[in-house]
Structures are given as C-alpha cells and as structure tokens.
C-alpha cells in the first residue's frame, strides 16, 4: 500500500504545482507582499490553507455540487472581477504617481496592515472562480482516478500549494536590493496592474 501512496502523492504534487505556478492575480499579490515583507506569513497561510480546503472538497466529490449551481459561479466571477479591476487600477495609479518613499524595501510602510492584506488575500482567493475550477473540479476529477489513493493525491497537491506560496512569499525578499530603487517598484506594480486588470476583465466578461 505504501508503494502506491507515494506515487499518488507525487502525482498530486506535480499536478497541483502545474496549476498554481502560472502567473495570476493571487501569485502577483503574494509576490508583492513578499517583496515588501508585509504580512507574508498570513498571506502564505491563507493561500495554502484555502487551497488545502478546496482540494479536500474536490477529492470528496463536491465538484458535482459546484457545477449544479452555475449562477453562484457567475456571481463569484462578477464580484471577483470587479475587485481585481479596482486593485489593478490602484496598482496602475502607483505606476503613474509613485509615492515619495516607493523605494523603501525593508518592510515597506506601516500602512500595509495585516488586516488589509488578509482581507485582500481572502477576496482574491475565494472570489476567483478559476480557483474552484482548478482545485474542486479539475484536481477533484483527476484525484478520482486514483481510487482509494485519491486522498494521497490530494495531500500531494496541498503540499505543492504550500511549497509554492512559501517559496514565492519568502523568496521575494531576495529582491529587496533591487526593489530599493523606486523605478523597480514601478515595474513590479506595472506587472501587478496588468495581471489584475487582465484577470478582472476575463472574469467579468466570462461571467
């Protein structure tokens, strides 16, 4: 049995990693928080725990329930898309009108409170329909092919999520030297703005 658990877990790890590594609104937010060293533990924890919960729901077979409520997915898409468009607009504003202390890198300003970061992360995670499609539906359906080892597959996918977000959040501080320059922050905020606005528009138009 052990010989079957590890291959299933490895398959879950690889599949989960392939779904979350692609640049997206959530990854861009985690990268920015990590670079500014603001509420990194809280943000990484929310992303990893949320993914674990959604993966568990998918493995348990809740995907069929989600597909039975298309109106709920539409509402989530509209709300999440509107939020991402607003966040992207704020990032674009920082590009066009950077703050005087935009080059600070060792922790950033105190305005980026933990509460604000937590709320933003929760909204980006739970109001993004793609999260449900990737975790509950896609990973859930792949896990079902592993039969009695589907939970090992799910654990592997959850570990992949934890490893990725931890690496992204805490690895971003390696850029602190580069981000000491205001121009570098404008580039990062430009990437964040483009990502958020693109994802937001896709969610609203696809809802």
The pLDDT assigned to 107 comes to 45
Where are the chain's structural domains?
2-206
The pLDDT assigned to 146 comes to 84
The pLDDT assigned to 105 comes to 45
Instruction: Quote the pTM value.
Output: 0.75
The pLDDT assigned to 65 comes to 61
The pLDDT assigned to 74 comes to 76
The pLDDT assigned to 72 comes to 66
The pLDDT assigned to 53 comes to 94
Query: Position of tokens 């390696």?
Result: 174
Mean pLDDT by 10 residues, the chain (207 residues): 77 86 79 87 95 92 66 73 83 76 46 79 84 81 85 94 93 76 78 82 78
């Amino acid at each position: 049995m052990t010989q079957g658990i590890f291959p299933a877990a490895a398959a879950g790890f690889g599949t989960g990693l392939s779904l979350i590594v692609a640049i997206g609104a959530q990854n861009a937010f985690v990268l920015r928080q990590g670079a500014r060293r603001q509420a990194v533990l809280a943000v990484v924890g929310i992303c990893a725990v949320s993914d674990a919960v959604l993966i568990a729901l998918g493995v348990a077979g809740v995907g069929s329930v989600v597909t039975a409520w298309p109106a709920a997915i539409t509402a989530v898409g509209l709300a999440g898309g509107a939020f991402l468009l607003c966040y992207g607009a704020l990032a674009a504003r920082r590009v066009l009108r950077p703050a005087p202390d935009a080059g600070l890198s060792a922790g950033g300003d105190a305005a980026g409170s933990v509460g604000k970061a937590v709320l933003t992360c929760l909204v980006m995670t739970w109001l993004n329909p793609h999260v449900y499609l990737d975790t509950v539906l896609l990973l859930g359906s792949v896990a079902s092919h592993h039969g009695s080892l589907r939970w090992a597959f799910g654990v592997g996918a959850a570990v992949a999520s934890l490893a990725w977000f931890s690496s992204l959040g805490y690895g971003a501080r390696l850029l602190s030297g580069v981000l000491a320059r205001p121009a570098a922050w404008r580039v990062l905020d430009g990437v964040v703005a483009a990502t958020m606005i693109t994802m937001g528009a896709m969610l609203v138009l696809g809802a």
